[in-house]
Amino acid sequence: MPSVWTILLALGTAWGLAMAVVIILQRRSAAATIAWLLVLVFVPIGGLAIYRFIGPLRLERKKTRRRRTRQLVAEALGAIRALDADSSHGEHSELARVGINTGEAPPLRADSLELYTDGASAYAAIVAAIEAAAHHVHLEYYIWEPDHFGCRLLELLAKRAKEGVRVRLLLDAVGSHRLRRRHLHLLRDAGAECAWFNEVTLRVFRGRRADFRSHRKIVVCDGRVGFTGGMNIADAHTAEHSGDRAWRDTHLRVVGSAVRALQRTFVDDWYFATERLPVAGPEYFPPRETAPGGRIVQVLASGPDDAIFPIHRAFFTAINTASTRLYVTTPYFIPDESILTALVSAALRGVDVRLLIPRRGDSRLIDLAARSYLLELLQAGARVFEYLPRFIHAKTMAIDDSLAVVGTANLDNRSFRLNFEVAALVFDEAINDALARAFLADLAEAKEFQPSDLSQAPFLSRLGQAGARLMSPLL
C-alpha cells in the first residue's frame, strides 16, 4: 500500500501537470507562462487564489462580450466610418495607420489643445467645461476619491443634472471602491446616471476578474470638449490639499472633432457596463466644425478584450520612428522585451533617450522590478532619472519635435495587456515643445542614474531586483 508521502507526491505531480496544461493552452507570452507556472506549482493554494482573481480565468468569454459590445455600438452609431471620413493625418500616416488598422480612430482635427501639469489647473478646466455644458457630460474614471474635490465635483454634477444636462458617470469598481454608494445617491436623485465597471464578485463559477480594470480617465462635454491623461479625481493631485506631496501629473484638454474618439470610447465602456446605449442623436457626435489647419490628435483605446493591443503597437512604432529625442515619463516601468528592445535600439542609433521614473512608487515590488531593466538602457547610452520631490504619476512621451503622447497607459504589462487604457497621440509642435519643457523642468529635480548605481548595488538589492523581474509579467 503506497505511503502518505507517495500519495501526496503523486497528487502534487498531477496538480503541477494539470496546471501546466491549463496555463500553456492560454498561449500567453513565454515570460508570463513561466511566471504563472512558478506561482501555481510552488505556492499551490495561494497561487490558485491569485490565479482565480487575476489569472486568465474566463477572459475569453469577456473578450467575446467586449467585441460584441463594440460591434453593437459601431452599428448603432456608424461611429467608425464617420470618424474615418473626418480623418486627416498627412505626414503622420505611417504611425496613424497602426491605430487605424487595429480598429481605432484615425487622427482627427482639434480646434485647440491645452496641456496641464498640475492638478489645480486641470481640475479648474474640467469644472469650467462641466459648468458650460448644455446637453451632456460623460465621465469615466479609475479612481474617484470621496475627498474635498471629489465631493465638490459630485455636487456640481448633481446641480447640472437638475438643470437638465444629461450626466453619466462610469467608475471602476476597484479603483473607486472608497466611493460608497451613498455618495452617488446625490447624483441619482438629481437624475444623473451612474454605473460601475466590472464589479468584483466572489462566486466560484461566475466570479469576475479582479484585474479586468478600466484605468481610463475621460471627460466629454457636449461631444466637443474632452479631457484625458493621468489625473484621477483625488486631492492627492492638488497642492491645496496635499502641499508639497501633491502628485506631479499631466492632463490634456481637447476641443474639436478629435473629442469624438473619446466619446466613442466612453460609449463602448458604458454599454459594456450597463447594456444601455447612452446616445441617440447628433448632439453626442456633433458634425465637424473644425476649420482646416487645426491640430491633429489620434485617440487610441486598448484593453484585454482585443489581442491586437493598439496602444502597445503604437508605442512600439513611435519609439522605433524616433530620430532625435525621446523623453519618457512613467510611474511604472516594467517593459516587455519588444518595448525594451525598441528603447535600447533608439539609444544605440543616437536618439537622445531619457527616462524619468519616481524615486519611490506605491509598490516596493514594482520599484524593484523597474530597476532591474535600467542597466541595459544605461549601457546602450540612454539616460535614466529618478524624480525626487514627490510621486510622479504622469504617463507621457515627447518624441522628436512634433509628436507628444499623453494618456493613462504606463510602460508595463498591466497597461499594455490587462487594463483598459486610452492614449492621445498629439501631432503638434507646440504641445510637443510644452511637454518637452515640462520634462526638462522635472529633470532639474531629479537624480540621474549611473551604471555603477546598479551594477555595484548591494547583493541583496540586486537579488531583490532579479527576483521581482521574474514576477514582472504578473505585475
Residues involved in catalysis: 215, 217, 222, 393, 395, 400
Query: Which of 110, 112, 179 lies closest to 141, judged by CA?
Result: 179
| HSE, side-chain direction, 13 A CA sphere, residue 304 | 22
Strand partners, 240: none
Other C-beta atoms within 10 Å of 151: how many?
Answer: 15
Name the DSSP class of 291. P
Kindly tell me the burial class for residue 444, based on how many C-beta atoms sit within 10 Å of its own C-beta (0-12, 13-18, 19 or more). Answer: exposed
Take residue 230 and report the three cell numbers written for it.
493621468
How far, in Å, CA of 48 to CA of 50, rounded?
5
Other C-beta atoms within 10 Å of 375: how many?
Answer: 19
In single-letter form, the type of residue at position 69 comes to T
Helix/strand/coil for 144: strand
Query: Which of 2, 208, 320, 252 lies closest to 110, judged by CA?
Result: 252
How far, in Å, CA of 409 to CA of 422, rounded?
7
How far, in Å, CA of 83 to CA of 89, rounded?
12
Name the phi and psi angles at 283, rounded to 5: -65, -25
Tell whether the torsion through CA atoms of 31, 55, 145 and 156 is positive or negative: positive
Strand partners, 412: 334
Take residue 366 and report the three cell numbers written for it.
514594482
Other C-beta atoms within 10 Å of 287: how many?
Answer: 9
Which run of H or of E encompasses 446? Answer: strand 446-448
